[in-house]
Structure 1
Amino acid sequence: ASATSGDRPNNSRFSTCSVGNITAVLDAVRDGRKRDCLKENAGAFCGNKIVEVGEECDCG
């Protein structure tokens, strides 16, 4: 799979599967079953294609 050019009709909409996954996370946050899910991570993040402090490489 690959990203589209951005000019297709439904590019600004989430799929049914994505909506279900997002809803599950937001429900868990609301109900107190998950915390800190939506806070920005201040540390290095493997896989973001940015070589950060403490990383030798980041393949993304």
Structure 2
Amino acid sequence: MTDALIQAIRTRNLDQAERAVARLRTRMSTERVASLIVTAIEKLAWEEGDTPAAMWLLKNTP
């Protein structure tokens, strides 16, 4: 399921991302889902070479 979220974020597909988040919410707490979203975005930032964005996420998320 997290792979679907990562793919949706990578392709900037909002509908796909919303479906992935909805599936995650049926099995996980809101806090856990939020953590997975931030992790997916951070992973994508590193993969795309957006070091400033990745570093900002590391510094500004719990």
Same fold per TM (> 0.5)?
no
Higher helix share: 2
Structure 2-normalised TM-score?
0.32
Structure showing greater radius of gyration is 1
Instruction: Identify the structure with bigger relative contact order (alpha carbons < 8 Å, sequence gap 6+).
Output: 2
Q: TM-score, normalised by structure 1?
A: 0.33
